[in-house]
Structure 1
Amino acid sequence: MEQRIERLLKWLKKSDEFYLSPNVGVIESEGSGRGVVLKNGNLRKHDVIVSVPSHYQLNYYTILWNISLFNSELKIDGVTVNENEKEKYSKMLQDDDPRFQIYSSLDQTFLLSLTSFQIFEIYIMVEWILLPLWSEGRSESFWQRFFDVWPSEEELSSIPAIWSCSPSSKDKNLLPFLPSASCVLLEKKIKLIDHDWALIHPWLASCVEKFCQQGQKTLPQDELYQKFLQVYFIINSRCLYSKVLLRKGDEESQFTMVPFVDFLNHTEEINEHCYPKVGRTPKAQTNMGPFSLKCGERGYNRIGDEILLNYGPHSNDFLLNEYGFVLERNQWNYIDISEDIQAMLEGNSAMISFLKHHDYWGDYTINHSEISYRVIVVFSLFVTKDYKRMDKFLSGFISEDYFWPKIEDTLRQFLTSLCDKIRDRVEKLEDMRAESYDFSAQNVVALYMGYMDIIEHHLDRL
């Protein structure tokens, strides 16, 4: 990997606009994979750590620009190749480059109907997976040095959607152990994957068939899908927010992928370690400018300290489903106890009707700092069965101080029972880990340990 990183930096340094602080370097560790550390000197607040110019970022604009090199029918002002660029770059392209055939089949109307994510999927599947196969090494993607440092299928195997979607996943047995918050996130992710695969697979399949008829090597459909899953989660785990002016109103398309920046690991602390700065280039209204990372409030003075980036205020359930990792301690953790509360109320149609009528059915959560108001409402109704006072409570005429002494014991029993249930799950997971050490099982255990921390904190306060 060290040589791949050196080649990546050599490629980036071909641009005079690329900057990397001489005080930082990349390391690889067993626990967190690749990361960026302070290797000498120091970093102070607002110091630039890295800055990557727009043409070295993989985004909606650079993809359309690169596709237009091979498809002259694409004409989008300020985005696709202009006449001067076409003359310059056409001399560098080989006539037998398979991308002339592949990209010429992409209609402009179809391309502009896609989200950024879907265009990424198509482009990366071609440039990274299919081009080396069909060009037999004669053509290489501009982005190859970036592709070379992307994670392998094995490195992405700790993501729950991989367990569910990949026939070859060894972690399918962990799916029944996922807590409800993770299951909700997993179901949403699977729907997105299925939708995108249904959209782009017919086009990919037609390309495969065309080149197969020409005697070229091909990929079996199951292997093509495996590569698609890998590409999907590389995009999903490495996209960074940046406005795409052509996609106004389409929030899911507002992102870019930036070499080197994706080496930085996540921290729960917001803006303490470093923060992004996205520029705009004056050359074209639609074009993105440089993407920079600057040092945050804390600064860096100790050699070997890891430079971290906050991906957002995310719980461990979210981090596991989006990125395949969890934090040992995470202030953004919460427990979704909706299933347990709904089971507690099963058969009590009057209470369920009351809660539904007042829009208090479901979405019951607890985090480290508080037991949500919705939970207090449910337990107040369940314990007192006093519908008249509950109406006044929900209207703001009675405070929760009236109900709290009445529900404390029942709430304590509920949390104690929930804690026991979680311990049982952890024990079963630990037994699975004992049979063969499994990073994915370790992550699921960490989810539950985070839950235990929240519950025990509230039991101590009751």
Structure 2
Amino acid sequence: MDPLDELLRWAEPKGVALNGIRPQRLPGRGVGVIATKALQPDEVVLEVPISCLRSIGTVPHSITRKLPKSLPIHGLLAADLALDSSPSEIYAPWNAVCPTPFDLSSMPLLWPSALQAYLPGTAKSILSKQRAKFVRDWAAVSAAFPDLDEETYRHAWLLVNTRTFYYLNPKLRRRRKEDRMVLQPVADLFNHAETGCNAAFSAVSFVVRADRAYEQGEEVRICYGRHGGDFLAVEYGFVMAENRWDEVGLDEVVMSRLSEKWRERLEEVSFLGGYVLDRETVCHRTQVALRALCCEIREWKRFVDGEDDGDGSQAKVDKLLVEMLEAYRVKIGEVVCEVQGLKEGEQEQRTMLVERWRQVDRLVEMSIMRLRSPRVENEAN
């Protein structure tokens, strides 16, 4: 029997109810959820009872008693998945439809270091934090279960990383936000969209409602959150063709221009780093840093203190930013060429990396065009 059919047979007596949807393999995209009939807005398409959730409360005592209480639930659920290898276990049909190690090869954590080095700066930062979490969790789990190999645990850890849902109940309220995580059958098969079906927990179940009308055969998706492309690439292992929430980190663009003295000044006022460009504008932190490069210090201080709205210096700031972004585009082109010539890693990994850089380039290009427009209009007037 097909593992997806086996999963549905396993889930039905547990109260998992599907209405007008069905998981299906999508060519080149793994598994997704397809509408099997026309769906209406706000129609319930999936309901998963709370009793089906795989959470901190379902991890066997034989595992929890050997692990430190300080271990985050991410590491704990990963240990449960990694050690649940017997086909007779109660979660076997669920485990059988989880992505394989090959399916997860797009995750940058699994890339060779030579390829990781070409990630955009923000993605590198996210990956560094992710790697630190894994190393911490693996140290605790491997000490308690020395026969467990790292590759198996890493695969389980990434499954938890990509397939959990945020869930808050009275038992989890006192735990850290990142520890309020659960796994749930069938619901974890939905793919991501920037806007998707409405998903929420009630007192008794997790319910997914159609956000709009769907035609039969159309893929039904949910939104994992308002995440930029670097986050999606590192945490989920994919890039989106269109993403209204995308943004570009500008730390390497801006900070390379700052003298040590200006870095110290920005640090003193808590404006060093964290510079971001999105589809509409650059953040206020970037505006502060750019004025450090093109304004006198008194003018800069007035802007930082909110005594100057910055209108008088905005033209200078925009001109400087355009210059910096144009230089960045040249660097992006060089990076793309270098990645295309690499032999490290898999072709799919390199393709994904190139696509991410092209997304960054498109955002930067859009910003340059937007910044130039006011100047063009002024010159025409």
Change (3 A) 1:362 1:292: same
SS in 1 for 2:220: strand
The match for 2:280 is: 369
1: CA distance between counterparts of 2:222 and 2:189? 10
> Secondary structure, in 3 states, of the residue corresponding to 2:24?
strand
Counterpart of 2:329 (choices 419, 429, 433) is: 419
What residue in structure 2 maps to residue 82 of structure 1?
Answer: none
Letter in 2 for 1:235: V
* SS of equivalent residue, structure 1 residue 13: helix
Aligned partners of 2:82 and 2:130: how far apart in 1? Answer: 19
Aligned to 2:209: 294
The residue aligned with 1:176 is: 117
**Aligned equivalent of 1:107:** 65
Indicate how the Cα distance of structure 1 residues 392 and 256 shifts in structure 2: closer, same or farther if over 3 A, else same.
same
Residue 327 of structure 1 is aligned with which of 213, 229, 240? 240
Structure 1 residue 460 displacement after superposition: 1.0
1:416-455 superposed matches below 5 A = 416-432=326-342, 438-455=347-364
Matched, 1:34 2:31: yes
Helix, strand or coil: the match of 1:344?
coil
| Other-structure match for 1:53 | 49
Which amino acid in 2 is paired with 1:405?
A
- Equivalent-residue separation in structure 2 for 1:125 and 1:236 (angstroms): 13
Provide the residue aligned with 2:39 in structure 1.
43
* Residue matched to 2:132: 191
Q: CA deviation at 1:416?
A: 0.5
Does 2:124 correspond to 1:152? no
Q: Which residue of 2 aligns with 1:247?
A: 172
| Equivalent residue, structure 2, for 1:232 | 157
For the 8 Å contact 2:71–2:140, the answer to whether it is kept is no
Distance 2:277 2:170 in 1: 39
Q: Is the 8 A contact 1:160 1:320 kept in 2?
A: yes
Deviation string, structure 1 residues 38-85 (Cα, Å, up to 9, x no partner)? 122x2122211111223322112233xxx25xxxxxxxxxxxxxxxxx
- Whether 2:193 is the aligned partner of 1:267: answer yes
Aligned in 2, Cα 1:332/1:232: closer, same or farther, shift over 3 Å? Answer: same
Q: Output the amino acid matched with 1:33.
A: G
Counterpart-to-counterpart distance in 2, 1:443 and 1:262: 23
Could you say which residue in structure 2 is the equivalent of 1:410? 320
- Give how far 1:436 is off: 9.5
Give the equivalent residue in structure 2 for 1:167. Answer: none
- Specify which of 20, 36, 57 is matched with residue 18 of structure 2: 20
- Give the drift of 1:259: 0.9
| Cα distance change on mapping 1:147 and 1:437 into 2, 3 Å | closer
Runs (4 or more) in structure 1 with deviation over 6 Å come to none
Structure 1 position 10 matched with structure 2 position 6: no
Aligned residues: 370
Letter in 2 for 1:107: R
% identical equivalent positions: 21
Q: In structure 2, what residue type is equivalent to 1:194?
A: V
Change (3 A) 1:106 1:184: closer
Deviation (angstroms), 1:303: 2.1
Change (3 A) 1:204 1:417: same
Deviations 1:228-287 (A, max 9, x none): 000000011110111243232321221211111111100012xxx31223232xxxxxxx
Query: Do structure 1's residue 143 and structure 2's residue 53 form an aligned pair?
Result: no
Contact 1:313 1:332 in 2 (8 A): yes
Tell me how far 1:407 sits from its aligned partner.
2.9
TM-score (norm 1): 0.75
8 Å contact kept, 1:58–1:256 = yes
Give the superposed CA RMSD. Answer: 2.1
- Structure 2 counterpart of 1:279: 202
Measure the CA separation in 2 of the matches of 1:322 and 1:13. Answer: 30
5+ residue gaps, structure 1, are 69-102, 164-170, 209-220, 281-288
CA contact (8 A) 1:278 1:292 kept: yes
- Is 1:460–2:374 an aligned residue pair? no
Separation in 2, partners of 1:421, 1:392 = 34
Q: What amino acid is aligned across from residue 180 of structure 1 in structure 2?
A: G
TM-score (norm 2): 0.91
Q: Are the structure 2 counterparts of residues 141 and 363 from structure 1 closer, same or farther at C-alpha, using a change threshold of 3 Å?
A: same
Distance in 2, Cα, partners of 1:388 & 1:292:
56
> How big is each residue's C-alpha offset from its partner over 1:81-105, in whole Å with a ceiling of 9 and x where there is no partner?
xxxxxxxxxxxxxxxxxxxxxx2x7
Q: Which amino acid aligns with 1:382?
A: L
1:113 CA drift (Å): 4.6
Partner deviation per Cα, 1:92-147 (whole Å, 9 max, x = no partner): xxxxxxxxxxx2x7539x5755432232122222212xxx3xxxx6xx11000000
SS in 1 for 2:288: helix
Q: Hey, what's the Cα distance between the residues in 2 that align with 1:197 and 1:244? A: 27
Runs of 5+ unmatched residues, structure 2: 373-381
1:249 maps to amino acid: R
Partner amino acid, structure 1, of 2:335? R
In our comparison, the structure showing a higher alpha carbon Rg is: 1
